[in-house]
A and B are shown apart, each in its own frame.
Chain A
């Protein structure tokens, strides 16, 4: 009796999260696949139309524009915050005066909800009364500040800057944790062998930080693919779709235009792109687990 219970109990406890996961995550996922093959306005029952949504997708200019924007986002995300975050981690890993304060300040943006960051930066970017333009005009650098969020060439980059501002602290913390786990004896040994600081960094620290770097990269990729909140709050993808990203375009198609099937097909494409990176991430995590 006791043994039976012991065998049975773990499954019982597992059953609850598994059921929840099936109902709320796996189920809707498959339903989205199905929806992407239909024409559905959210009211009447979905009409099966095969791959028509996908055909349309590949001729949709806004879809490609959004995809390109996601790629721009991705490209900036796997470079700028990673380099900056690593640099900050290297600086703050030693006993700098006020080190705790700096760590906290850099991590602070991460604590704010995306929506709050978006709103605050929306005010900073305000073309007439915003802090940035007021300073630029006040210092006499420009006569009239640019419309950061209303200029088609600037809007996306203005948003990406906010996202980077937020991400740097996060990457820094990840690298700090990685640095703390490195045995200082390796560094001492390198020093004794006559390596200079750059060589220690390049040949000892960086390889040892490799597992962290992979995680940081994959997280950056996934974060850039699911970018939505900042765009939705700051520009809603405008002006004229110039700052639209896939998640935002999907949302507008689904809930503004009630083209659920079409939105679902965007979701599926986004999912497939993400899947590649998620697999890399999982593979990496599993490998690490096996090592220990």
Chain B
């Protein structure tokens, strides 16, 4: 009996100590100037004097929760580095940083946002995906930070517009990257190929690669978003970026003949076996393998492709603008922008704003541009330090008439999901026109339901 009691007491003590250690915040020593009234005796009289003294007080660190989707090795390292830099510079804050796998993060974000104590700062996509949360009052208005940090002047108008709803700023866009067709210089040189600029040239390049036993285009569609890039580009090149964006916003129909033209062009590539076999067996990064070994010639990808390639082939890597199919059509490019926001229910808005101000500073953006080769949004970042690829990417986007984000960022996620299913099924059996029409009709009915369009 006595032993039992002892055991219970022990258990309780252990539990309590666990809870207590969990609650104990980290502290820092801060020097504060304190004003005190002291009574001094001067010549027999008692006088009150106001004295200022420096005192050292023990202050609890302010805790800040930061969830990030930078889960690829290189961005993750940079992300952790930035958090450390922030804490070194502002020791009064203690950032609790969690990195969540990119795909999982997208799935968990609504649970984060609706929690009673959500993460204070989170990474996210600019544009429609952020707009949805802003409309649902889940993102904090940070116009004061934009004003206070001078971002209103320092950020290009386009990025400011991307972050604003009704004249208030909610989002901090920090970096963006371009999409392009990446290719292996050595493979092209070996076969005497030039980067194509028109569709006919592109088909010719594919044909030459194929004749020489190479896979013209690699792609991994296990996660289906890679197919979205092909739809985006074919649609923008054939029908123009305006039609594309209207389609994304639910204003145009998927049953439009113009959409069918996209699938016709796509079918040409599929029927000629220009894409890698068994694409659905690979993730986007697994599909890099034949590209690295030189068995595959090209890969339509965002510039984050660089994060996952071995350094040895960096010098052998180059990219070109997705070929022009109709010179009369305006040029649209995908250039997704990433950034940060503060949750509307943030428990530490002051700390969160301080962190956001730091993330949007020239210092951090310069660091990111150097370390990861992303393009910064802050005009204060010295553009002369950009490497050749960044300069070329910048020129690519500067030469575009219209910049889109990406298929699953420009339209609503549930429509994008169904759309990507259509792409996948089409990919598997491109000759089945009847089935394609049926799927597009289904997709369009759903588009109307989701967007509430006529």
List chain A positions with a Cβ less than 8 A from chain B: 41-44, 62, 125-128, 147-152, 235-236, 238-241, 252, 255-259
Task: Point out the residue from A128, A240, A256 that lies within 8 Å of B424, measured CB to CB.
Answer: A240
B156 at the interface (CB under 8 A from A): no
Task: Point out the residue from B138, B281, B427 that lies within 8 Å of A127, measured CB to CB.
Answer: B281
Tell me if B222 and A236 are in contact (CB < 8 A). yes
**Top 3 nearest A-B pairs by Cβ distance?**
A147-B278, A150-B280, A239-B280
Tell me if B224 and A238 are in contact (CB < 8 A). yes
Tell me if A42 and B110 are in contact (CB < 8 A). yes
- Kindly state the separation between the CA atoms of A232 and B107 in the bound complex, as whole angstroms: 14
Q: Residues of A contacting B414 with CB < 8 Å?
A: 257-259
**Closest chain A CB from B287 CB (angstroms):** 11
Tell me if B281 and A149 are in contact (CB < 8 A). yes
Tell me if A42 and B111 are in contact (CB < 8 A). yes
Count of chain A to chain B residue pairs whose CB atoms are closer than 8 Å in the complex: 69
Task: Point out the residue from B133, B136, B277, B413 that lies within 8 Å of A256, measured CB to CB.
Answer: B413
Task: Point out the residue from B111, B136, B277, B424 that lies within 8 Å of A239, measured CB to CB.
Answer: B424
Tell me if A238 and B277 are in contact (CB < 8 A). no
Tell me if A152 and B281 are in contact (CB < 8 A). no
- Kindly state the separation between the CA atoms of A239 and B280 in the bound complex, as whole angstroms: 6
B114 at the interface (CB under 8 A from A): yes
B292 at the interface (CB under 8 A from A): no
Nearest B residue to A155 by beta-carbon distance? B280
Task: Point out the residue from B281, B425, B428 that lies within 8 Å of A148, measured CB to CB.
Answer: B281
List chain B positions with a Cβ less than 8 A from chain A: 106-108, 110-111, 113-114, 133, 136, 138, 221-224, 277-281, 289-290, 413-414, 417, 421, 424-425, 427-428
Tell me if A238 and B280 are in contact (CB < 8 A). yes
Q: Residues of A contacting B133 with CB < 8 Å?
A: 43
Q: Residues of A contacting B108 with CB < 8 Å?
A: 255
- Kindly state the separation between the CA atoms of A126 and B111 in the bound complex, as whole angstroms: 35
- Kindly state the separation between the CA atoms of A128 and B221 in the bound complex, as whole angstroms: 16
Tell me if B281 and A43 are in contact (CB < 8 A). no
- Kindly state the separation between the CA atoms of A240 and B280 in the bound complex, as whole angstroms: 9
Tell me if B424 and A150 are in contact (CB < 8 A). no
**Closest chain A CB from B140 CB (angstroms):** 15
Q: Residues of A contacting B107 with CB < 8 Å?
A: 255-256
Tell me if B114 and A239 are in contact (CB < 8 A). no
Could you pull out 29 A-B pairs where Cβ atoms are within 8 angstroms? A42-B110, A42-B111, A43-B110, A43-B113, A43-B136, A62-B421, A147-B277, A147-B280, A147-B281, A149-B280, A149-B281, A150-B279, A150-B280, A150-B281, A151-B278, A236-B222, A238-B221, A238-B222, A238-B280, A238-B424, A239-B427, A240-B424, A240-B428, A256-B106, A256-B107, A256-B413, A257-B413, A258-B110, A259-B414
Q: Residues of A contacting B425 with CB < 8 Å?
A: 240-241
Q: Residues of B contacting A240 with CB < 8 Å?
A: 421, 424-425, 427-428
- Kindly state the separation between the CA atoms of A255 and B107 in the bound complex, as whole angstroms: 5
